Structures are given as structure tokens and as C-alpha cells.
A and B are shown apart, each in its own frame.
Chain A
Amino acid sequence: MSGEEPRIGVFVCHCGKNIAGSVNVEEVVEFASKLPHVVVAKDYMFMCSEPGQKLIKEAVAEHKLNRVVVAACTPKLHEPTFRRVLEEAGLNKFLFEQANIREQCSWAHMDNPEKATEKAKAIIAGAVHRVATHEPIGSIEEPVAQRALVIGGGVAGIEAALALAKRGRSPQKSVLVIGGGIAGMQASLDLADRGYHVYLVERESVIGGNMAKVYKTFPTDDCAMCILSPKLNDVGAHPNITIYTLSEVVSVEGEAGNFRVKIRQKPRYVDLEKCTGCGTCAEKCPARVPDPWNKLGRRKAIYLPYPQAIPRKYAIDRDSCLYFTKGVCRVCEKLCPAGAINFEDEEKVVEVEVGAIIVATGFEEFDPTPLKQYGFGKYPNVITQLQLARMFDPSGPTEGKVVRLSDNQPAKKIVMVQCVGSRDEHYCPYCSAICCMIALKHAQLIKIEQDPDAEITICYIDMRAAGKGYEEYYQRAQKYGIRFVRGKVAEVYEDPETKEIIARVEDTLSGNVLELRADLLVLSAAVVPSPGTSELAKVLGIETNEYGFISPLHPKISPVDTSRLGIFVCGCATGPRDIPDSVAMGSAAAARAAEFLESREFEVYLVEKSPYLGGNAPRIYRTFLTDDKTADLMKELYEELEKNPSIKIFTNSTVEEVSGFLGNFEVKVRQKPRYVDLEKCTACGKCAEVCPVDVVDDWNAGLGTRKAIYMPHPMVYPRSYTIDPESCRFGECGRCAEACPEKAINLEEKPKEHLLRTGTILLATGLQELKPAEIRQYGFGHYSDVITQLQLARMLDPNGPTEGKLVRPSDGSTPKSVVMVQCVGSRDEHYCPYCSRICCGIALKSAREIKELYPDTTVYICYIDMRAMSYLENYYRDAQERGVVFVRGKVGEVAQDPVTGGLVVRVEDTLTGSVLELSADLVVLSAALVPPEDAAELAKKLGIDIGPDGFAKEIHPKLRPVDTKISGIFICGGIQGPKDLSDSVVQALASTAKASIPMAAGQVEIELAKAIVDESLCVGCEECAKMCPYDAIEMVEVGPRKRVARVIEVKCEGCGACAATCRVGAVQLRHYKDPQILAQIEGILAYV
């Protein structure tokens, strides 16, 4: 406590007419000047402007103020501004309180100036009483060890380790980010937080991109703006980010590490420094033009696309402004209280020097006008999904009502048309990946928020709900009574009387042609590259694909690199993807850019449970989509690992205990003996030749056998033999040790314990294939010719157990017919209710490969929905062309024909309604992908959460896909949920971007606006510790029989749940202490 008598200054802002229009400022100032401890009360037109800030600083000096109240807009807008003013005036920034008399007073009560004035007084009195009790709050710095622990040695773990341990060379410490959507914002924030300067170039007048328009996000129905807005503010206020709006990159010279970039900035005609975003201009602007942001309704020629936008500054659209088009008007200029309008504004060209460039130009919704059969642009009641999203928004063009555009009446019958432009060879042959989920979201939102009786039909081809929690979302939609019709809408026409739209569609499941009547027909239009993407790609000298999206260097292992060194890409600029993937990619691109610039490397401990690195990747033989041999991809990674001395690898090791917190974790690792000296072993194989033990080869997914001393594959890492202690006879045998020419074998080797101290922890323990034996109807384990996709992959590998030959395990013959069964365990409430996401891709890959090697073999894939998202759609089409037979139906059972003894797969073909009996020489099960057995146990040791699906839980599914609830612990790859190689790499890089922020700084600054315990009052009841969602309270012994709670500031998130629980008032949340809140309550109730 400062102890001195409070001397408070109250500063009331007019905000032009925004406050003064309904609040009597003079009266309020008079009232405020008489409140206790108030030494001075003043008013000013714009308190946030430079002169307003100066006025406050001068008053602090003149009147020796030690507390300040500013009565103005919401603190969410300008609290950081005024806190900075206090610091500049020499006061601690917490000796400030902002009274919100604009958003929650003058604007909300414009209809009642008398009550608004009365309420403003109450709010200010509350703030004055509260600020009198404020105390200065400082910050502490905690050291962060510049070492990371990566748990899991699969591709994600290796990529993460490599990214952390690399050293860059660029002298430039700034980066150019092109595109201010969610991916670009994420990349900018990650780099800026790490100390690099970011130039963020945005073509529009504000940042935010498409996410600002979507209203809510699937699958959690989180409000998009709620989660986006804090990020917008962070980007807007970050000292390391310079935003260029209305700007485009016109030229790039130089090379990686030292680019010189010219940016052309169009005139805004509004001075960014002066505009306060009050909106008086737009209110009076007489020009109304179609609103390109909402794609519905109208806006003024001077506009702010949406209220939460950053920068919250208006802009004039030259093409619709009456002054520019007709030479008359200038009303905005006359009315602007800040004098911010500047019709003389001119185009500028700015030149910046950067070390790396990130392209995050995103996508736009395909304009469905050319698809004449859907009547878009012709019939008013045909709209797109993005337009529908804008209708939901209470501050949107229809004020939150889903209405027919023909007469503004509520829409009761809605028909959604999927794949408009997507999966269409004439327009976008690829799948747009997100439209199914958008349709599911909107359909449910109509039911939940608009009209539970609304009739909603979704016409689809495949329902592609493949992502974490997505299948569950689809299931929920079915419970809401939404009708699903499997078929592509052929044409629509309008009933001229009712303006209803009639959609003609063949229901492929019943074979009937339906005519669906709709008040609104909603088109799920394709995702296409933002306009100008290919021109930009030319300027940057990077490659694009045939659809105009930017091509990554390698879609699987270099998903964020481009064809030009030093230029990276993220988000929908490379193709359609959802928000979490875009966010992760933004972070990943930041990680790659930083890797390039960073002059410091981190030490990495890479801990792997099994004797070999690589995880599943080397076993799957080839990747889907690109058909790369994973052994080749892995070889490059292993070589890089070998070269990097900063990475210490612990194989055969498990995490036993974890303690500590961000910056200073202590991890106990137990390393089982390998019995073979890695340094000495030359992998000659003489040991295995003499080993008398044969056991089932688990590395080959149970196909074939191996010895007790073995190396599972010639391309493994470390390239050395190992002994399996479960099957070795040790002392009874010892032949291997005798046979080893290098004397590398030590059968007496003992387990080791390592205590690793690290700053951050990355969890990358991957996933595994479900053992489908428990799903009895498929006969796995019962019939030897029923295998899994992983076993099939092992067969196709020339270095595998069958030397690359496809054989029937029962007799070694070549199968003439192969039946693949999708969704074995997945999308099945008895096993895994979720979709395993990648099995469709895997089945397509192996089916194509079989057709290539054995053209005469018939391959069937029995599926429910073929979830071939994005470019995988092309791969799917190619499989069809190669003659793979697709049967839409869930397999009922796999049985043996009593006569021939061959296998028969019974499946209902839902497209014909007939039950097929497919005779199969080989049945391949696409078994669900599940978390490793130790996932829950390991999560518990780390203190992180596991989701209902058993995978590790991220703190926020949309915007923080790799963060966990424990600061400093991150998740990536399969442990977060089923995903392919490319998504695993993206997440691995993303998690390094996050982990690097505190590690690069070497410390974290913790503002102490956190909980604090008065140990003299604490009775040690532990209630606060139980209540804390972050495990931030520990119990400590402070004397004989005296235990008290203590807050671990690094872990505390400042929610105050502990304080509200404490029975004796010993725990308080600083800046929200009980006396402070009580003083505010007293203030707002005492006077009026």
C-alpha cells in the first residue's frame, strides 16, 4: 500500500458528440469534483487524443495526483492507452480506473439523456471510490531455461526438435506478413512476441479477414468475434507490429535474409492518427452503396466494415463518395469532430527491409453466379453460406434474423446445396473442405437460435466432417432433426407467386427425384484463392498450383515453405482449410521464418518410448496424396538429426515424473537398457543370425517374425540392433554377445535415470491403430486373411515382411479381390465416436497402389462418406479412374463361405438399396486411430487435460490448437487427434513457435495482477487450491503445524476463483481485491 492520502483526478471525455450528445458533461464534471479525494475534474473533446493525454499528464504534475479516473469509452478500447499515459506521468499504471460512460451509458441510453447523465455519475462515483483503494502493482521476471523437452520421436517430435535446434544467419530481424486474416495475425503475433518486427500488409481497410464474418465457429459454436477480437486488439496494440492497411506488395528485391519490399498504400482519406472511430461521419454520409463486407445490405461511402475492427478507423471509398464522384458533399469533413477527414490524401509507397516473408492471403467465397442452374443473382432468395452467416449476426445487415430477401419475412424452410463449384471439374475440382461443417453449423444455429420448427434440408454428396469433434457435431445435427438428402441439386427455379425456390434433386439413396421448396436456398460455394493471389505470387517469385493457390515446397513435409527460400505460406493461401489448421499454420510459418532469422539455438532433449525414432511414419510405407516413400522422407530427417549436436536423443525412455512450471520444469526420465552399444554396433546383423528366439514382429504390425535381438527395418534410426528383454533368454543363451565382432552387446546393462531441466515441454507421442479384434463382426484375429491397413502397408514395403508382395496370409497366394472396410471402430459409438480423419486417404493410397502393382486384382472400398478433403478429392477421382470400386455402405460382417471357404463381405449398397456379398481373398480393415495406451497417464503427470476422445486437449480448439492449460507445455501431432503427416508437421512447427517465445527471451515477465495469499490469515483449508483451474496454488509448510496456500505466479491466470472461495479472505486477487470491488459497489450506489 502506498499509504499516502489519495489525490484523484477525474477526466471526462466528450468523445465528440458521442458522450456529450446524451450525457451532460458539465454537470458530470461538477458532480465528480465533489467526490471524496477528488482534487481536480476536467473535461475534453477527445481524451484519448494527443492533447487529451497531455492534459492528463499536466494535471498529474500540477495537482500532484496519485490516482486517475478517465470517464470515456469502454476500458477494453483505451485502458492500455491511459495506463501508458499514467506511466509517462510517473505513476504506476494500476493507479488508474476507466469509467465506461460511452458504450454502456451514452450510446445505450441515447433515448434518455437525463437517466444517462444520472447513470454516468454513478459509474464515475464507482470508479472514484474504487481507484482510491488501488495499489501499485509491479512485475517479476522468472528465468526460462533455453532448453526444451520433446516427448515422442515420431515425425512431429523430430520436426519440433529440429526446428528448435536450428540456427539462422540473417542479420535482418524483421519479417513481412502479407494478409491480416487469422493465419497472418497468428504468424505476426508469434513473431512479434519473439522480438521480431513485423510489417503486416492488408489489402482491406481493416484486418480480421474471413473469420470476422463467420458469426460462430464449428464445432463448439464459439462466437467468432469473441475469440477473434482479443487477437485483433493484440495485433493492433503490439509495439512490434506495423500494420499497413489498404496496401499491396508491389515489388520484392534481394534474397532470403535480406529482402527489400515496396508496399503501395492507397489513400484512406481519413487520418489514422486523428480518427477516433466515433462514427459521426458514417451516420451523416448520404451515399449508400452495396456492402461488400457483408455481401448483403448497404453501407455508407465512409465506412468501418465491422464495429470491433482494427484499426477502428473509418475509410472513404473513393468510388462511391459523392465528393469524389460528383464533386459535392464533404459532409463528413464538416462534421468530424476530430478533423480527421483529408480529401487530399494520396497514394504512398513505403519500402521496408525484411529477412523473411510470410504469405497469408487467404481465400474468398466463390461467386456462384456462373452456375446458372442455381439462380444466384437471379432469384433474391438464393444466397451463399457467407451471406447466411452475416444474417445471424445481431449487428449484421438483418439484425440477427434469418430472412427471405424477397420480403424480409423469417425463413421457415431452408435448403442448403453443398459442393457449389467444388468437386466440379468445370470450376474447382478440389473439395473445399469446410463447407460441410459450415452447413452443419448454420443448420443447427437456425434450429437453436432462430426457429426450432424450421425445416432444414442439406443436399450433399459426402458429408465430410473430418476433424477433431466434427463427426460428433454431425451426429448432433442429426438429433436436431435436420434432413440430409444425398444428392447434388440439379437445378432450381422460383415460384413467381410466393418467391419460394424449388430445388430439384435426386436422392441417390432412394433413387427418387425430389422437389424441395425453400424460403431460402443457401449455396455452399467453393473456397477459391483471394483475388490477386497469382499476381502476388509473380511479384514474390513463388509457384502456384493450377487452381491459383500457392504451392508449398512439399505438401507433406514442407507444408509452409514455398518454392523460394525465405518465403513461407500459411492458411488458406495454399488451399481450403479450417480455422484451427490455419492458426496452426500461421504459427508454423512464424516458426520457419524465425528459424531462418534466429541467431540462437535451443538445446533439445528428444525422449522416445520405443528403441527407434520415427513413430508410425516409416511403417506406413507411402504417404497418401503424394505417394512419397516415407523411408526417403525419414532419411532426410535422420540425417539432420545426426548433424545437430544440440539435440540429445533418449530412446527406450519414458517420462516418470514432472514437476515445476514454465521456464523451469524438472523431468525424471527412465531409460531402459538397449543391451547394444549404439556407438559400437555397425548393424552387421551377425547377432540376429545366431539368435534362437523367434517372436511376432510388432514393428511390422504382427506380420512375420523377428529375433529377440533385432533391427526392424534397414532404414531405422538409430541404425543399431536392440534386444527385446521380453523374449531374450539372457544368461541362458548369450550367443549374440559371442557373435558380435564389435563387442557391442552388454547383457548386464542396467536401466538409467536422467533428471532433465527444461524451459518448455512439447508432447508429440502420436497415435496408434485400434486393434480391431474386439469388433467381432469383421473377423480380425479369427480369419487370417483379414488384416489392417497398417499390415497392408507393411506388405507393400519391399523391405517389409513379404518383400513388397501382396499375399494372402493364409496361403501366400496373390489375392484377386481385395475389400477395404472403412470406419472400423471409427464413427461407431461403441468404440470411437469420432472420425479418424485420415483412413479414407490411406485406403485410397493402398487401393491405388494395389491397382498399379496388380491391375487384375479387383479392389473395393466400402465407405460411409468418402472424406477426401481438399486436393485429396483429385486423388479420389484418380482412384475411381484406375478402376477402384466404391461401395457406399457400412459393412455388416465378414464371414466365411461354408462351401468355398473364402471370405464374404456383406454390405448394403445404400445407393441401390441392395445387400451385396463381395467375395474377398483379402479383407483390409481401416481401423480407427486411437491415442497411445499411456496417453492418460502421461497427461496426468504433465497436468494437462485429456478430451472425451482420449486425445490430449488443447486449451482452445480454434485459436490455440497447440497450447495446453499448463503454460509452457504444448501438444502437437497425433496425440492431439488423428491427422496426416502434413498437419503433424504444421502442429510441430507451431508448437515450437509457441515454446520459443519465452525461451528466446530467456525470461518471462509476469505482471503481478495475480492472486496473493495473506499467510497470517490463511488457515490452510486448501479450498482455494481445489478451486484453481490451473493448479497455480500449492500448499507449503511455514512452521510447526502451519500450512498455508501459496500462489505460483507463473501459473496463475488471474481469474479470482480462489479469492471468491476463501472463507477468511486470505486469498485476494490483486487489482480485484475485495475492498476494491466493495468500494466500487459503494460508489455506484451511494449518490444517485
Chain B
Amino acid sequence: MSEHKKEFEPVIVAFTCEHCAYAAADLAGMSKMHFPPNVRTIRLPCTGKVDMLYILRAFELGADGVFVAGCLKDQCHYVDGNYKAEARVMFLKKVLDALGFGGDRLEMYFMSSAMSDKFVEVAHEFTERIRRLGPNPFFKRRSEVLVK
């Protein structure tokens, strides 16, 4: 292993609903709670809007991990969007396992907008998980190609 090679820093895309998880991430920042900068959120009205296509596209473009974070169960602002998202995530995890990509690179979480601590915990935990799993096996990052 070359000593120039940086430690692997995973890139993580988080699909969040604006009512809960996105607001929890905001509150974490407002409370100056630190979470790993690896996590980049995308704001959707509801996790029920998360299309499997989005997750696959994120992996295709190099995300090492993806998580979907919605409202607490039975507290979805659109009745049951978080359950719909959970069903899709669970299905896709199996597909990713079958593909040999690893279903563990995808996860579903639930939190309220006040649970900044939960968002921070999830961000840490998931980043560490992906760090252990290593880089996206189907993608060659430019930085990796460049750093010899």
C-alpha cells in the first residue's frame, strides 16, 4: 500500500424528508453537533418519494453508501410515506445483496425533526459501516485513479 494513499473517505448520499430527517440534520448543525462531512443530504417532501432509481443512480455515480431517513413510524406527515420507503429499501437491499454489491450499503432510518442526536448517531454509525465495507466496488473514483 502506498503511503501517499489517503484513508478511504466514503461518500454517502442521504435521502431525507423535509419534515423530519432533513430538519433533524438542520437542528444538529444549529446545535453545533458535529457529524461526518461524508454525508450529503437530498431533500424530498417525503421519503415516500424515494424512487429506487435514485438510489441506484447514486451508487452508479460513485456513492459508497446511501441511506433514506424519514419520520418516525406512524408520524409521517403524508400518512405512511415512510413505510412505503422502508418497503422499497428492504427490497432493494436484497437486490443489492444478490448483485454482490452488498445490501448493507443501503439503510432506512426513522427520526423526528427534534432528534438531532439521532441524525448525528446515524451519520456516524453509517459512515463507519461504509468505511469498514470499503469503496463502492462497481465504481472507480477519480481520486483513486489519480492517487497511486
Q: Which residue of A lies closest to B35 (CB)?
A: A108
| A1057-B63 contact, Cβ under 8 Å, with A109-B34, A965-B79 | no
Let me know if B84 and A223 touch, CB within 8 A: no
Q: Which residue of B lies closest to A1062 (CB)?
A: B51
Tell me which of A109, A965, A1080, A1084 contacts B37 (CB under 8 A): A109
Tell me which of B19, B30, B84 contacts A395 (CB under 8 A): B30
**Interface mask (A385-409 → B, CB under 8 Å = 1, otherwise 0):** 0000000011100001000000000
Which positions 19-55 of chain B face chain A at CB distance < 8 Å?
Answer: 19-20, 22-23, 25-35, 37, 40-46, 48-51, 53-54
CA distance A122 to B58 in the complex (A): 13
Q: In the assembled complex, which residues on chain B have CB atoms less than 8 Å from the CB atom of A119?
A: 37, 40
Interface residue? A346 (CB, 8 A): no
Tell me which of B11, B26, B34, B49 contacts A111 (CB under 8 A): B34
Let me know if A107 and B29 touch, CB within 8 A: yes
Let me know if B84 and A1060 touch, CB within 8 A: yes
Q: In the assembled complex, which residues on chain A have CB atoms less than 8 Å from the CB atom of B74?
A: 220
Let me know if A1072 and B49 touch, CB within 8 A: yes
Interface residue? A110 (CB, 8 A): yes
Interface residue? B18 (CB, 8 A): yes
Which positions 122-151 of chain A face chain B at CB distance < 8 Å?
Answer: 122-123, 126
Number of A residues contacting the other chain (C-beta, 8 Å)? 58
Q: In the assembled complex, which residues on chain A have CB atoms less than 8 Å from the CB atom of B23?
A: 76, 226, 229
| A1084-B42 contact, Cβ under 8 Å, with A76-B26, A1027-B84 | yes
Let me know if A122 and B75 touch, CB within 8 A: no
Let me know if A104 and B25 touch, CB within 8 A: yes
Which positions 703-732 of chain A face chain B at CB distance < 8 Å?
Answer: none
Let me know if B113 and A1082 touch, CB within 8 A: no
**Interface mask (B43-85 → A, CB under 8 Å = 1, otherwise 0):** 1111011110110011001110000000000110111110010
Interface residue? A100 (CB, 8 A): yes
- Minimum CB–CB distance for A630 against chain B, Å: 39
Interface residue? B117 (CB, 8 A): yes
Q: Which residue of A lies closest to B43 (CB)?
A: A75
Interface residue? A17 (CB, 8 A): no
Q: Which residue of B lies closest to A1057 (CB)?
A: B48
CA distance A100 to B61 in the complex (A): 22
Q: In the assembled complex, which residues on chain B have CB atoms less than 8 Å from the CB atom of A220?
A: 74-75
| A103-B26 contact, Cβ under 8 Å, with A123-B40, A223-B115, A394-B114 | yes
CA distance A119 to B35 in the complex (A): 12
Q: In the assembled complex, which residues on chain B have CB atoms less than 8 Å from the CB atom of A1081?
A: 13, 42, 54, 57-58, 61
Q: Which residue of A lies closest to B84 (CB)?
A: A1057
Let me know if A394 and B31 touch, CB within 8 A: yes
| A1085-B11 contact, Cβ under 8 Å, with A225-B114, A1080-B42 | yes
Interface residue? A160 (CB, 8 A): no
Let me know if B34 and A1056 touch, CB within 8 A: no
CA distance A660 to B35 in the complex (A): 48
Q: Which residue of A lies closest to B32 (CB)?
A: A107
CA distance A223 to B49 in the complex (A): 23
Let me know if A1029 and B78 touch, CB within 8 A: yes
Interface residue? A74 (CB, 8 A): yes
Let me know if B31 and A223 touch, CB within 8 A: no
Q: Which residue of A lies closest to B44 (CB)?
A: A1072
Q: Which residue of A lies closest to B50 (CB)?
A: A1060
Let me know if A1056 and B49 touch, CB within 8 A: yes
Let me know if A1084 and B49 touch, CB within 8 A: no
- Minimum CB–CB distance for B36 against chain A, Å: 8
CA distance A1085 to B113 in the complex (A): 26
Let me know if B54 and A395 touch, CB within 8 A: no
In this complex, the interface size class of chain B, counting residues with CB under 8 Å from chain A, is 35 or more
CA distance A1085 to B56 in the complex (A): 13
Interface residue? A40 (CB, 8 A): no
Let me know if A394 and B117 touch, CB within 8 A: yes
**Interface mask (B95-132 → A, CB under 8 Å = 1, otherwise 0):** 00000000000000000111111000000000000000
Let me know if B30 and A1056 touch, CB within 8 A: no
Let me know if B61 and A223 touch, CB within 8 A: no
Interface residue? A897 (CB, 8 A): no
CA distance A526 to B64 in the complex (A): 54
Let me know if B29 and A1060 touch, CB within 8 A: no
CA distance A46 to B112 in the complex (A): 30
Which positions 1064-1088 of chain A face chain B at CB distance < 8 Å?
Answer: 1069, 1072, 1074, 1077-1078, 1080-1082, 1084-1086
Interface residue? B93 (CB, 8 A): no
- Minimum CB–CB distance for B141 against chain A, Å: 10
Q: In the assembled complex, which residues on chain A have CB atoms less than 8 Å from the CB atom of B116?
A: 394-395
**Chain B CB within 10 Å, residue with most, of A111, A1027, A1077:** A1077
- Minimum CB–CB distance for A819 against chain B, Å: 42
CA distance A107 to B28 in the complex (A): 8
CA distance A100 to B42 in the complex (A): 10
Let me know if A104 and B26 touch, CB within 8 A: yes
| A102-B29 contact, Cβ under 8 Å, with A1055-B81, A1085-B63 | yes
Let me know if A1084 and B40 touch, CB within 8 A: yes
**Chain B CB within 10 Å, residue with most, of A123, A1027, A1053, A1056:** A1056
Let me know if B18 and A76 touch, CB within 8 A: yes
Let me know if B48 and A1056 touch, CB within 8 A: yes
Interface residue? A116 (CB, 8 A): yes
| A1060-B88 contact, Cβ under 8 Å, with A123-B40, A1081-B58 | yes
Let me know if B46 and A1055 touch, CB within 8 A: yes
CA distance A123 to B25 in the complex (A): 14
Let me know if B37 and A118 touch, CB within 8 A: yes
Let me know if B32 and A110 touch, CB within 8 A: yes
Let me know if A1054 and B40 touch, CB within 8 A: no
Tell me which of B57, B62, B81 contacts A1078 (CB under 8 A): B57
CA distance A220 to B74 in the complex (A): 9
Which positions 166-218 of chain A face chain B at CB distance < 8 Å?
Answer: 215
CA distance A1074 to B42 in the complex (A): 13
Q: In the assembled complex, which residues on chain A have CB atoms less than 8 Å from the CB atom of B88?
A: 1060
Let me know if A126 and B32 touch, CB within 8 A: no
Interface residue? A112 (CB, 8 A): yes
Interface residue? A948 (CB, 8 A): no
Top 8 nearest A-B pairs (CB, nearest first) are: A1056-B49, A103-B29, A1055-B78, A107-B29, A1029-B79, A115-B37, A1057-B48, A226-B113
Q: Which residues of A contact B (CB under 8 A)?
A: 74-76, 100, 102-112, 115-116, 118-119, 122-123, 126, 215, 220, 222-226, 229, 307-308, 393-395, 400, 965, 1027, 1029, 1053-1057, 1059-1061, 1069, 1072, 1074, 1077-1078, 1080-1082, 1084-1086
Q: Which residues of B contact A (CB under 8 A)?
A: 11, 13, 18-20, 22-23, 25-35, 37, 40-46, 48-51, 53-54, 57-58, 61-63, 74-75, 77-81, 84, 88, 112-117
In the complex, 6 of the A-B residue pairs with CB atoms within 8 angstroms, ordered by the A residue number, are A110-B34, A1055-B45, A1060-B84, A1072-B44, A1072-B49, A1081-B58
- Kindly list 14 other residue pairs between chains A and B, CB separation below 8 angstroms, not including A112-B37, A126-B42: A75-B43, A76-B26, A104-B41, A122-B40, A395-B27, A1054-B45, A1055-B77, A1057-B78, A1057-B84, A1060-B88, A1077-B51, A1081-B54, A1081-B58, A1085-B58
